[in-house]
Structure 1
Amino acid sequence: MTDLYTAVHEPAVETWPSLAAPRSNPVRRAGAHAALRFIARDLPATITLDNRSYGLGGPAMRVHRTGPFLDRLGHDAGSGFGEAYLAGDWDPEPGTDLADLLLPFAQRFSSEQDRHLLPKWAQSLRWLVTRSQPSDQENDRAGARENISRHYDLSNAMFSEFLDPSLTYSAALFDQQPESDLATASYDELSNAQLRKLDAILDAAGVVSGSRVLDIGCGWASLAIRAAQRGAWVTAITIASQQALLAQRRIADAGVSDRVQVALRDYRDQIGVFDAVLSVEMIEAVGEKYWPVYFDAIERRLAPGGKAVIQAIVMPHDRMLATRNTFTWVQKYIFPGGLIPSVDVIEQVTAQHTGLQAEVLRHMGMDYARTLRIWRNRFIEHWPAIADLGFDATFRRMWEFYLAYSEAGFRAGYLDDVQILLTKRFG
């Protein structure tokens, strides 16, 4: 190892046991190396490994530890690349933004002509290096509470460091073209964009003074507060206990405690009827098995003539079908038990299992890319304060990768974010 790599990140394996280098397998390592060369042959990026560069040029990354890097790729196709970043096996070259580097990979997935990074012969062998979702991430009532808590109860203070003052943890809606230069994305524009998003949801659901509103997966209550400020009566439910406590404090600080009730409650256990049912970026945590249950619960809670609006991260239907049983880096490290649906499957499930009709109101993929860039910039800027909360350098790399990986997905069109209106087909 030369002096060039003396500052390379080394995770505390006792804290991050999943990042211990996997046992080396010469066949898997050779296969990973061959796959990497194949990917790079027409990739508009540069991968430098053992002082040799691959790719067509563009955003650049350098592999510091070739053996562990290839071993991780060969051991787990779904998580290896991201785990190698967490472990410090590779970094973007100085001056290269992490999301810009990940964008060419995401574009390969989003291309209609080429949604696979690997050659067909390698695709047929993916099962050897692809993990299935573990059974302990089942989204029954107990499992869902554990899965949600692992993310949303990490630290209210940590989220407060990079979200806007409303603590809205979902895509904002910008009034300018969100695909404009992301380098100009500013924290100052985020608060208004989040309020614009909240108002768009409330308008679509017809929420006015006196409306009875159910907010499923209420987060830190930004939407519930906004609805109450219109004069609505709101029941806001979550299964994240620390999140619920802060939501209650925020509701009190906003002066709307008389109009908003926060309950630590699973959506399956809610009773009553409401004029509007709202659920923002909640479906991704429900799990495929429970999508019919989720939409049935929404339908049962809607009063005659009521409207529901969900905001959902979605992916192309064919990619959802291809990946729904795999265990990805995001599921392993960020959202256990999660699965991103497609618009097609939302329409299919609502048509087959409910009397609801689904209508896409707007697409917000590029808005989400801009939101994520602002969050990541803010996260990095406020890292000293986050570190003081007890989070280490590997956690920082994990969240930088998560935010950049997500941004790249939205920029490429591999991911989208949609607001969907749900109404009863028969009154």
Structure 2
Amino acid sequence: MTLARTLEPETMDAFDEAVAYLEMNHAEVNRIFADDLFAGGTTGPRVIDLGCGPAILAIEIASRDQAIEVMAVDLSTEMLGLAKQEIDFAGMLEQIMLHQADAKTMTGYEDAIADTVVSNSLIHHLEQADEAIKTAMRLVKPEGRVFIRDLMRPESESAVESLVQLYAGDENDVAKQLLRQSLHAALTLDEIRDTAAECGIDGECVQATSDRHWTIDWTRP
């Protein structure tokens, strides 16, 4: 029997949770995300990062090309506060602009304003994943890319615990619990393929890209 999905809060509004997330080791995951993004096709120069969190991924992407400008979007005030510090420390205040907005809707933002829309680990926070996917599709220009990656829900509790020990075994208990909750909240590969198809994205654009991640890589016609 497939493990049932258990939703977690949509945003990290508590300061201690936001800090705990920032302190987790995301460097390798973000490096691979950026490697795959740039290897898969044209990226930028205008990039929107939906659900940017502390902006570590936005910094990784911007560091690859000085011509890239990133609009980093998050709803959490606490996350955006941490993001500003990280961007300042990285010396990228001119390259990365923070916006507080709901990534599910991006109300008030025009269509087709980005060459590339990315998102990492946002979808598992959302009850209705199609909302953010459709928004990403709306924001990207014709011939632009939508590149979304998130966790993939395992089939059993034992599989969840194996992944927690493998990828967060050296982290503290708070970090382990954050990963555990995220895996429970994630979509399966079949679920995200069905959701993407409802949004008009072909199933071939949705692939399992690690033992715990799926990725949408779609180019707008």
SS at match of 1:350: helix
Identify the residue that residue 262 of structure 1 maps to in structure 2.
98
Please list, as runs of the form range in 1=range in 2, the aligned pairs for 1:185-264 lying within 5 A after superposition: 191=27, 194-204=30-40, 206-208=42-44, 211-229=45-63, 230=65, 231-264=67-100
**Alpha-carbon distance, 1:198 to partner:** 2.5
Gaps of 5+ in 1: 1-114, 118-129, 169-190, 320-332, 366-415
Identify the residue that residue 19 of structure 1 maps to in structure 2.
none
Aligned pair partner of 2:119 in 276, 279, 283:
279
Asked whether 1:314 is paired with 2:152, we answer yes
Identify the residue that residue 364 of structure 1 maps to in structure 2.
210
Q: Which has the higher strand share?
A: 2
* Larger-Rg structure: 1
Tell me, in whole angstroms, the C-alpha distance in 1 between the residues paired with 2:61 and 2:148: 15
Tell me, in whole angstroms, the C-alpha distance in 2 between the residues paired with 1:349 and 1:298: 14
Tell me, in whole angstroms, the C-alpha distance in 1 between the residues paired with 2:194 and 2:207: 17
8 Å contact from structure 1 (residues 356, 423) kept in 2: no
**Alpha-carbon distance, 1:116 to partner:** 7.9
Identify the residue that residue 154 of structure 1 maps to in structure 2.
16
Per-residue CA deviations over 1:170-214 (Å, capped at 9, x if unaligned) read xxxxxxxxxxxxxxxxxxxxx456423332234335225xx1111
Q: 1:205 to 1:310 in 2, by over 3 A?
A: farther
SS at match of 1:348: helix
The higher relative CO (CA closer than 8 Å, separation ≥ 6) is in 2
**Alpha-carbon distance, 1:298 to partner:** 1.3
> Partner letter of residue 139 of structure 2?
R
8 Å contact from structure 1 (residues 363, 419) kept in 2: yes
> Partner letter of residue 355 of structure 1?
G
Q: TM-score, normalising length from structure 1?
A: 0.40
Aligned pair partner of 1:421 in 214, 217, 221:
217
Identify the residue that residue 140 of structure 2 maps to in structure 1.
302
8 Å contact from structure 1 (residues 205, 421) kept in 2: no
Per-residue CA deviations over 1:390-411 (Å, capped at 9, x if unaligned) read xxxxxxxxxxxxxxxxxxxxxx
Please list, as runs of the form range in 1=range in 2, the aligned pairs for 1:303-382 lying within 5 A after superposition: 303-315=141-153, 334=178, 335=181, 339-352=185-198, 354-358=199-203, 359-361=205-207, 363-365=209-211
8 Å contact from structure 1 (residues 220, 247) kept in 2: yes
CA RMSD of aligned residues (A): 3.2
Gaps of 5+ in 2: 157-176
SS at match of 1:298: helix
Tell me, in whole angstroms, the C-alpha distance in 2 between the residues paired with 1:149 and 1:202: 32
8 Å contact from structure 1 (residues 274, 302) kept in 2: yes
Please list, as runs of the form range in 1=range in 2, the aligned pairs for 1:386-425 lying within 5 A after superposition: 416-424=212-220
Identify the residue that residue 168 of structure 2 maps to in structure 1.
none
> Partner letter of residue 101 of structure 2?
R
**Alpha-carbon distance, 1:155 to partner:** 4.5
Q: 1:269 to 1:236 in 2, by over 3 A?
A: same
Q: Which has the higher helix share?
A: 1
Tell me, in whole angstroms, the C-alpha distance in 2 between the residues paired with 1:157 and 1:315: 24
Q: 1:254 to 1:291 in 2, by over 3 A?
A: same
Tell me, in whole angstroms, the C-alpha distance in 2 between the residues paired with 1:223 and 1:249: 14
SS at match of 1:315: coil
**Alpha-carbon distance, 1:305 to partner:** 0.4
Per-residue CA deviations over 1:298-327 (Å, capped at 9, x if unaligned) read 1111110011111121236x88xxxxxxxx
Please list, as runs of the form range in 1=range in 2, the aligned pairs for 1:24-43 lying within 5 A after superposition: none
8 Å contact from structure 1 (residues 205, 308) kept in 2: no
Tell me, in whole angstroms, the C-alpha distance in 1 between the residues paired with 2:208 and 2:41: 14
Tell me, in whole angstroms, the C-alpha distance in 2 between the residues paired with 1:262 and 1:116: 38
> Partner letter of residue 340 of structure 1?
A
**Alpha-carbon distance, 1:423 to partner:** 2.7
Q: 1:205 to 1:361 in 2, by over 3 A?
A: farther
> Partner letter of residue 73 of structure 2?
I
